[in-house]
């Protein structure tokens, strides 16, 4: 067995997640919760939890402030992940996930997060550089808080590449557009995010393959585009893969993209072929659909779904 991979998960805009289940959500009326589960959250936290479940040694670097930040830090530590905190004067945000158990509909309410000062930003960049000294992979995921600027991820990508560290990026909007200039090793947008990025609709697997190739030509090593019920495509060099998940009845899909990314990162770090990286990623995303809390599920669930994932190699002339 190879040595456990060391992974740094970066959370510029972490959150304290609260998942609330109601029998039937009635807008404008009193709703009584069946359950209310607070947990450390934000996309990067979900990535960190799944990477740890898969056996990686994981550190989680984040801006944290106020009592919500303290709760978030404790929630990270209890999941076996090592928190690395850059303290801020503001308070860590809270995200709310409302689950209508009758219909299965999930409604998310995401707070914008605190404003980061220039001094806090510089401390974060310094700490990021320090943490890269003994990790092989840095995973940057989620939105950016006010104050750091849309170039923040591009700055982190450049620092990681200078340090010889692989860097995986999962974000959207201007933060993604600007980070592409720094050429991260991997990006994982969804169809809607790619549509916004390239200015054209992504309706099919062929659309996604063509878009992934176009993005790869900007200097990216791997481009993955998630397509919801249509699965995901992954393009690396001349290899074009399409994967689909087994059918499940989801509790919630929140965190499934993050779980996917964690599965890919750990599998690739172990040197598995691209087909198995995609298989592991999709199995992780599927397992998350049944989780009581995003990113928190047993490895046995991943092992159960992995053989049921379908991977096909696409004709490289597509797109």
Whether residue 319 is predicted with pLDDT greater than 50 in this model: the reply is no
- Of 155, 157, 178, nearest to 166 (Cα)? 157
Per residue in 25-70, pLDDT (tens digit) is: 888 888 888 766 667 888 999 999 999 999 999 999 999 999 999 9
Instruction: Copy the structure tokens of residue 86.
Output: 């850059």
Q: Which contacts (CB < 8 Å, 24+ apart) does range 162-168 have? A: 163/129, 163/132, 163/133, 165/8, 165/132, 165/135, 165/136, 165/137, 165/138, 166/136, 166/137, 166/138, 167/137, 167/138, 167/139, 167/140, 168/137, 168/138, 168/139, 168/140, 168/141, 168/261, 168/264, 168/265
At 17, the pLDDT band (50, 70, 90 cuts) reads confident
CA 21/CA 38 separation, integer angstroms = 12
Convert 70-87 into a string of H (helix), E (strand) and C (coil). HHHHHHHHHCCCEEEEEE
Averaged pLDDT for residues 211-228? 95
Residue 312: per-residue pLDDT = 96
3-state secondary structure of 197: helix
**Is the CATH code 3.40.1190.20 the one for domain 6-313?**
yes
Least confident of 2-16, 99-113, 172-186, 255-269: 99-113
How much of the chain exceeds pLDDT 70, in percent?
Answer: 97
At 317, the pLDDT band (50, 70, 90 cuts) reads very low
Per residue in 131-182, pLDDT (tens digit) is: 999 999 999 999 999 999 999 999 999 999 999 999 999 999 999 999 999 9
Residue 24: per-residue pLDDT = 85
Whether residue 271 is predicted with pLDDT greater than 80 in this model: the reply is yes
At 102, the pLDDT band (50, 70, 90 cuts) reads confident
Per residue in 278-299, pLDDT (tens digit) is: 999 999 999 999 998 889 999 9
At 231, the pLDDT band (50, 70, 90 cuts) reads very high
Q: Domain residues of the chain, as ranges?
A: 6-313
Active-site residue, from 17, 170, 185, 258: 258
Residue 318: per-residue pLDDT = 40
Q: Among this protein's residues, is 258 annotated catalytic?
A: yes
At 1, the pLDDT band (50, 70, 90 cuts) reads very low
What average pLDDT does the structure give for the chain? 93
CA 297/CA 284 separation, integer angstroms = 9
Per residue in 63-94, pLDDT (tens digit) is: 999 999 999 999 999 999 999 999 999 999 98
Q: Which residues pair with 113 in a beta bridge?
A: none
Averaged pLDDT for residues 223-244? 96
Residue 315: per-residue pLDDT = 66
**Residue 17, CA distances (Å) to 20, 36, 97, 189, 203 in order:** 10, 10, 8, 22, 32
């Amino acid at each position: 067995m190879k040595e456990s991979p060391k992974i740094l998960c970066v959370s510029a805009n972490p959150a304290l997640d609260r998942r609330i289940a109601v029998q039937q959500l009635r807008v404008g009326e009193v709703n009584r919760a069946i359950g209310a589960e607070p947990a450390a959250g934000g996309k990067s936290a979900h990535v960190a939890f799944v990477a740890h479940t898969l056996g990686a040694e994981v550190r989680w670097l984040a801006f944290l402030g106020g009592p919500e930040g303290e709760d978030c830090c404790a929630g990270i530590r209890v999941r076996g992940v090592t928190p690395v905190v850059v303290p801020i004067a503001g308070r860590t945000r809270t995200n709310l996930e409302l689950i209508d158990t009758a219909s299965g509909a999930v409604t998310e309410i995401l707070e914008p997060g605190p404003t980061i000062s220039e001094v806090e930003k510089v401390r974060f960049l310094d700490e990021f550089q320090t943490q890269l000294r003994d990790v092989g992979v840095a995973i940057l995921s989620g939105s950016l808080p006010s104050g750091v600027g849309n170039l923040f991820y591009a700055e982190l990508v450049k620092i990681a590449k200078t340090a010889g560290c692989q860097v995986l990026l999962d974000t959207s909007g201007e933060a993604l557009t600007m980070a592409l200039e720094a050429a991260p090793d991997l990006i994982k947008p969804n169809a809607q995010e790619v549509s916004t990025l390239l200015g054209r609709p992504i309706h099919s697997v062929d659309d996604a393959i063509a878009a992934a190739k176009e993005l790869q030509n900007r200097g990216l090593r791997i481009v993955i585009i998630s397509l919801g019920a249509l699965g995901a495509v992954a393009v690396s060099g001349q290899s074009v893969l399409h994967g689909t998940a087994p059918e499940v009845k989801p509790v919630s899909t929140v965190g499934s993209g993050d779980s996917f990314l964690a599965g890919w990162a750990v599998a690739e770090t172990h040197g598995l072929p691209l087909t198995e990286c995609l298989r592991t990623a999709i199995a992780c995303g599927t397992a998350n659909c049944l989780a009581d809390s995003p990113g928190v599920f047993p490895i046995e669930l991943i092992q159960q779904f992995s053989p049921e994932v379908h991977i096909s190699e696409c004709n490289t002339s597509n797109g």
